[in-house]
Structure 1
């Protein structure tokens, strides 16, 4: 019997969808730009729900395309805060795949008290951009050029061969999106990209989980090592024979990496008693 189920709630008066299940520390799973929570997290959320309270929302305009996108990473970070409020959650471990990594990085930067720890999955914080970039991107021709570039690099049928170690393991829903002439989430993603992100503090100390066979531009194993070097205190774990969605291609290895990180960080944060032993007090 499934422990993770879909809930329909309202956030700021707008409908929202979130998959919730399990008990324990809250584990916020934020999907990438290709589709929604189920596409990204269904292969792992039942295993994770055995040890944590899984919260996997469909981001407006990206995972849930019948609602408008929010326009910026800051707006998505505020939306996640409202989501946790609606679920009665004070803080959560935050995991983001691809675009979702930029979202949880912004959330941790702007709402640090509500983020227990970060996991980036084949994704990075989004760099800050000069304000004129957003203005320029609102013009028809530059936006058209950016749309064409995104389609070429990450949103067409040939993407599967670069994004997956075994393209046959790609979700069926993703295949449909990549074959679409103009995927509905593309415009929402462009809006966010043109705004850039806040400068992430160096003290985030995230776990970086990376599918070693990812060959998408900006998401190769070399890019993962550069991110690790740029974030002192971060941990880097490669999952062999997986690509841009390691949680889909090797769920067991992904779950093991995430839970080990959470358990280690949780143990380190527990009060210590005399003699270096964890305190037995309440």
Structure 2
């Protein structure tokens, strides 16, 4: 469906079901250089299991108009505006990579609007390697190659896929290629610049789950500890869920495991 957010058209995928704001709502926020389609499997799964799904293309991404926003804080403001446009008072937020920082910041600055928080492939701070930043600015092809190499396990790079006949790295490459020039550099710069993550985590007052790919090279398990500790010590608490055999692109590499973990957490009783 299409919504008008901050006076600009925004495309929002609802998982193949009509959006019903009377049901519990979950917002799925994509990462750098991507759009809503990275959530297709999870969006459909959740939408057919009692949830209303909003999986937006962020401004300037995919089918959404407007200029890409250059900071995590401004993107969090946009997510709040999205909720307003959809007529939603409260929602659970799920974000992957850059999207996890947006979800985290939104939950910290709008605590009464967020019911639960799911962070996939997340660390804070989220520094981006200088060669990748440079390539995103000057050589998109090289940047896309780096991202595919670091996001997928060796098996996926050799052609393994949970969906027979689909090349996961080829699909991701085409997704990144169809985004506008300069967008990836903008997004990676926003991740690299965001330094408020641990402070935001300390203020989270709703239940949180962190999903981490067992073989994630972009946000490896050892780097997750500072953010996990901050969330564990916050009022809402946190749990860690390891997605076995998956890398950073866990939604594509382990779609069933990720969907089951998300649905289980969203439907679990508060602790």
Place the TM-score, normalised by the shorter chain, in its bin: 0.7 to 0.9
- Pick closer, same or farther for the CA change 1:61–1:30 going to 2, 3 Å: same
Q: Name the residue aligned to 1:209.
A: 211
Q: Output the aligned Cα RMSD.
A: 3.1
Distance 2:192 2:254 in 1: 33
- Pick closer, same or farther for the CA change 1:230–1:244 going to 2, 3 Å: same
Matched, 1:97 2:96: yes
Matched, 1:260 2:264: yes
- Pick closer, same or farther for the CA change 1:237–1:42 going to 2, 3 Å: same
Matched, 1:238 2:255: no
Q: Name the residue aligned to 1:110.
A: 109
Query: Normalising to structure 2: TM-score of the pair?
Result: 0.78
Q: Name the residue aligned to 1:139.
A: none
- Pick closer, same or farther for the CA change 1:188–1:64 going to 2, 3 Å: farther
Say which one has the larger Rg.
1
Q: CA deviation at 1:33?
A: 0.6
Do the aligned partners of 1:34 and 1:174 also contact (CA within 8 Å) in 2? Answer: no
Query: Normalising to structure 1: TM-score of the pair?
Result: 0.75
Q: Name the residue aligned to 1:14.
A: 8
Q: CA deviation at 1:71?
A: 2.0
Q: CA deviation at 1:121?
A: 0.3
Distance 2:2 2:94 in 1: 21
**What whole-Å deviation, never above 9, does each CA across 1:86-112 have from its counterpart, x for those lacking one?**
111111110000000010011001111
Q: Which runs of 5+ in 2 are unaligned?
A: 162-167
SS of the residue corresponding to residue 200 of structure 1 reads helix
Q: CA deviation at 1:220?
A: 1.1
Matched, 1:147 2:145: no
Do the aligned partners of 1:30 and 1:56 also contact (CA within 8 Å) in 2? Answer: yes
Q: Which runs of 5+ in 1 are unaligned?
A: 1-6, 130-142, 270-282
Q: CA deviation at 1:145?
A: 9.0
- Pick closer, same or farther for the CA change 1:260–1:144 going to 2, 3 Å: closer
